[in-house]
A and B are shown apart, each in its own frame.
Chain A
């Protein structure tokens, strides 16, 4: 592998990791508040469709992004109503959200555009434009810094940088604000939060809504930045890879960034090479695709550092009378 190939692979790693990063942080915030969410995939898919459809109709990608966030938040609130208000099974609700999105996006896409469940291709202002970072051109030929700054970091859609910014923001919110402290507490011991006079239900709805916003951005980047339009089932399991990354990172924001970059790199490598030689051992492309899931199972099994979810996760809070 020469330098140019490595730069290209890392550049696409960053792009492929961005939807994973948004979805991973979304799941992290929701689960830190005690609401399990396996519906990340569905929210991303619905958002991807909405972003592409509205961007195409309006000709402006940012109106599309806003619509994507809107639809994703609505779906997050359905999950909230089912799992917080009606104390239903959070996992089953997540499964339902995934199917709802998988079905309804195709039904509506077919009805609106009649192209077999896809949106027309986006071009011009309906796509997310690449942004050149300041001095990227000037630093282009500087050794080491040039390839990293100009080749890898510069020239992405705005949401890539927003995603990277969300990592410290999430960290700050969780560990340095009162809201974050309460949010973490509500995922570990909701009764204590309730005793302190803070609304468990309000906090959990807040977390679920933030989760919706982030999933909306994940889906919007997928259909307007990473590709140019929506196709049926385009998330292709990314919501679950994000879930895997969240567990891999043990529900911590900075580690989440590391996990999604690793999984993004695996995807970038699988896209570029059919087989990879590692010390004379040919690794088939399928192994690369399965690796994020295998790593997550290994981490879950606790053979290499155990992943322990928030203690009150998955169960609704019932107030004592």
Chain B
């Protein structure tokens, strides 16, 4: 970066991700064109499908809620320069926490169930991140590898629990029983109906959206307004400097992984409690990995994560519409996601160099 000149900070947080997304979209357009469809028609269909109705908005926001949680999880870890690739497994375990809370405790009201389920989800997610965190902090095991391994271990563990413990007698389906109706979370339709705003009743977007927005504030407050947050960022900037200033790397690593795992686990409140109302095998459906793209694009800042999560919510809902009306499969979204990760995370120097040149030219004039 030092060789490519300096970019003003505002440009680094806005222009670089924007250029990356534009590049990702352009390449995807080429792919759509290559398989014989019209990129422009596809984009129109996606925008209409995701934003053209309250039905579309509802799904966009539902997916975005998942991605806010997993995006924040990855972002907090990135602030300490830890790459938590295990959001998928932590969210799976969070789902187990939600299911246990909802199934085995009789709740009089959804609000109490929401609080307890959130705690259960965060606790289980954090516990699943604690082991890789501890191993990194105390034994120096590379956190990327251990969190990948823990994703697979989580999938096996959940498979075992669902098939052998939670599955109702006589059922062939590896899934838990349905949660009691008292744990049903209010949907956006129900919440907006109170103030008289009509909203489609179909999409599963629910009160977890507000929890997610609350978490954006909480993470911002933690990182930029607390002592621990300062230590996390200092550790991320320079480990030796942080250690010299009396910050314990092991302590920060473990705390960060606990927070990150807890945030990833919270995703289950939206997907397991808010939508499926029971625990199934593939409850997370890759949202943990999308958190990586969301955090990279959002430059590890809660505001950026929120905006990037909305963009990916749009891609998911728009992609579903696209699969419904054209011959373009949903997996196109995975390609776009891959390109966003590639350009914002791995090829960011390639994107940065021309921008830096442009600024250098302007300064020279």
What is A's interface to B at a CB cutoff of 8 Å? 38, 78, 81-83, 86-93, 95-100, 102-108, 110-111, 114, 117, 232, 237, 240, 243-244, 247, 284, 286-287, 289-290, 293-294, 296-297, 300-302, 309
B329 touches A297 (CB 8 A): no
**Chain A CB within 8 A of B19 CB:** no
Interface residues of B (CB under 8 A from A): 31, 35-36, 83, 85, 131, 135, 139-142, 144-146, 148-150, 152-153, 156-157, 159-160, 163-164, 289, 292, 296, 327-329, 331-339, 341-342, 345-350
Check if A284 sits within 8 Å of B153, measured CB to CB.
no
7 nearest A-B pairs in the assembled complex, by CB-CB distance: A103-B334, A99-B338, A93-B346, A92-B345, A103-B335, A290-B156, A88-B346
**B145's contact among A92, A103, A296, A302, by CB below 8 Å, is which?**
A296
Residue of B nearest to A36 (CB): B144
Chain B residues with Cβ below 8 Å from A244 are 149
24 contacts between A and B (CB under 8 A): A88-B347, A88-B350, A90-B346, A91-B83, A95-B85, A95-B341, A96-B338, A96-B339, A102-B338, A103-B335, A103-B338, A104-B31, A106-B331, A107-B31, A108-B35, A110-B329, A110-B331, A240-B148, A240-B152, A296-B149, A297-B153, A300-B135, A300-B139, A309-B142
Q: Complex: how many Å from CA A86 to CA B353? A: 10
B146: chain A residues within 8 A (beta carbon): 297, 300
Residues in B whose Cβ lies below 8 Å from that of A108: 35
Secondary structure at the A interface, as helix, strand, loop or mixed, is: helix
Question: B337 and A103: CB pair below 8 A?
Answer: yes
Contact across chains for B139 and A102 when beta carbons are under 8 A apart? no
Q: How far is the CA of A95 from the CA of B145 in the complex (A)?
A: 12
19 new A-B pairs (CB below 8 Å) besides A99-B341, A102-B338? A83-B346, A92-B83, A93-B342, A96-B338, A96-B342, A97-B338, A100-B342, A103-B331, A107-B329, A117-B329, A243-B145, A286-B156, A286-B160, A296-B149, A297-B135, A300-B141, A300-B146, A302-B140, A302-B141
CA distance A263 to B176 in the complex (A): 31
Given known pairs A86-B349, A103-B332, A103-B337, the reply for A286 and B149 (CB within 8 Å) is no
Which residues of B lie under 8 Å from residue A110 when comparing CB positions? 327, 329, 331
Residues in chain A near residue B156, CB distance under 8 A: 286-287, 289-290
On whether A111 and B35 interact (CB within 8 A), knowing A82-B347, A286-B156, A300-B135, the answer reads: yes
Given the complex of chains A and B, what is the CA–CA distance between A128 and B332 in angstroms? 31
Chain B residues with Cβ below 8 Å from A300 are 135, 139, 141-142, 145-146, 149
Q: Which residues of B contact A104 (CB under 8 A)?
A: 31, 331, 335, 338
The reply to whether A290 and B331 contact each other, CB–CB distance below 8 Å, is no
A82–B346 touching, CB < 8 Å: yes
Residue picked from A104, A105, A309, most chain B C-beta under 10 Å: A104
Interchain CB contact under 8 A, B289 and A99: yes
B31 touches A38 (CB 8 A): no
Which single member of A100, A289, A293 contacts B335 (CB below 8 Å)?
Answer: A100
Q: How far is the CA of A97 from the CA of B140 in the complex (A)?
A: 26
Partner of A38, one of B139, B148, B339: B148
Given contacts A88-B349, A104-B31, A284-B164, contact A290 B334 (CB under 8 A): no
Report the minimum CB–CB distance from A158 to chain B (whole Å): 31
